[in-house]
């Protein structure tokens, strides 16, 4: 199989330019395709849920936008440039199981990590950085637990801390992989209220979720993914039986008028062997095929 290498072309930024645009994008791991012929455009201020079956490409789509994977084909523009070009303006939060919770670091220190890209090498956090961390912790209700080791927190508290880290980085684009999976209703409501406020302030929020009810209730638009884009539009589309059947197929069960997804929520598209971490090496290729 031959390799097709394409590079995203930067777009001119303007008030009306999309925050994220993918055109004709295909990608996979080694020689296995995961997403094909993807076309997506999301404007600033979007609050968008990515829904679809496990292995359908939700996490991969977020990694493409974050610049952790390079597409086999097609172009991607993020905040008017190539993925990774404006990394300081993008906050990417992976799934909870991708984090080493045994690492001996306090919750407040985790949130301060969101400031590091703005600090640069060998610079210590200043007053503005500490103020940003304090605001973020307060916004997610974690001020009182700032000194607690991250591994000692509950699942919902950890999600709050990682959202606070994203908030502290003061991004223009949030990329969140299952940010409210497995949390209690109160935590889900709190975190979604924060994300809604960020979107209303003009920030772009894109989050994957397996919870269709949450997608319909808390988000303003959806992108339904199953190896390609099945549907994109208003969040009400997630309640459309035809869209659901085309997205989930045999993984969807209707009980009366209610759709139930027969899926394991804690499943990645594929082992992340081909990711690029710009803060580590700045440019190795991922998502390759022979």
**Using one digit for the tens of pLDDT, what is the confidence trace for 212-224?**
989 999 999 999 9
Q: Is the pLDDT of residue 243 over 80?
A: yes
- 61: burial class by Cβ within 10 Å (0-12, 13-18, 19+)? buried
pLDDT at 107 > cutoff 60: yes
Q: What is the pLDDT of residue 12?
A: 38
- At 117 the pLDDT is 82
User: Which residues, in sequence order, are bridge partners of residue 145?
Assistant: none
Question: Residue 28's closest CA among 86, 96, 92, 74?
Answer: 74
For the residues 260-278, what does the mean pLDDT come to?
A: 49
Average of per-residue pLDDT across 161-169: 96
pTM: 0.82
* Whether the predicted pLDDT of 265 surpasses 90: no
CATH 3.90.420.10 given to domain 43-70+80-86+172-268: no
The better pLDDT of the pair 169, 8 is held by 169
Residue ranges per structural domain of the chain: 43-70+80-86+172-268, 99-171
Three-state secondary structure call for residue 225: strand
Residue 259 φ/ψ, nearest 5 degrees: -90, 130
The residue that leads in pLDDT, 145 or 11, is 145
**Average pLDDT score over the chain:** 83
């Amino acid at each position: 199989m031959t390799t097709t290498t394409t590079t995203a072309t930067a777009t001119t930024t303007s008030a009306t330019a999309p925050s994220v645009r993918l055109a004709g994008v295909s990608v996979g791991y080694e020689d296995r395709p995961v997403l094909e012929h993807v076309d997506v455009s999301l404007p600033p201020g979007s609050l968008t849920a990515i829904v679809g079956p496990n292995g359908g490409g939700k996490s991969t789509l977020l990694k493409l936008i974050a610049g952790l994977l390079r597409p086999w084909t097609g172009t991607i523009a993020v905040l008017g440039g190539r993925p990774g070009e404006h990394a300081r303006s993008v906050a990417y939060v992976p799934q909870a199981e991708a984090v080493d919770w045994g690492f001996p670091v306090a919750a407040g220190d985790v949130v301060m990590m969101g400031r590091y890209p703005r600090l640069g090498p060998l610079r210590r956090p200043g007053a503005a950085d500490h103020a940003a961390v304090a605001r973020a912790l307060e916004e997610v209700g974690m001020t009182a637990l700032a000194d607690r080791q991250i591994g000692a927190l509950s699942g919902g508290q950890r999600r709050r801390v990682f959202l606070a880290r994203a908030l502290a980085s003061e991004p223009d684009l949030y990329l969140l992989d299952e940010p409210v999976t497995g949390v209690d209703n109160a935590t889900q409501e709190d975190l979604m209220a924060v994300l809604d406020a960020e979107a209303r302030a003009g920030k772009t929020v894109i989050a994957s979720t397996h919870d269709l009810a949450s997608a319909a209730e808390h988000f303003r638009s959806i992108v339904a993914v199953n190896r390609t884009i099945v549907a994109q539009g208003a969040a009400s589309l997630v309640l459309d039986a035809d869209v659901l059947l085309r997205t989930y197929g045999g993984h969807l069960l209707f009980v009366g008028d209610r759709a139930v997804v027969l899926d394991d929520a804690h499943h990645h598209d594929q082992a992340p062997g081909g990711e690029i971490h710009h803060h580590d090496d700045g440019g190795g290729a991922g998502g390759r095929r022979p």
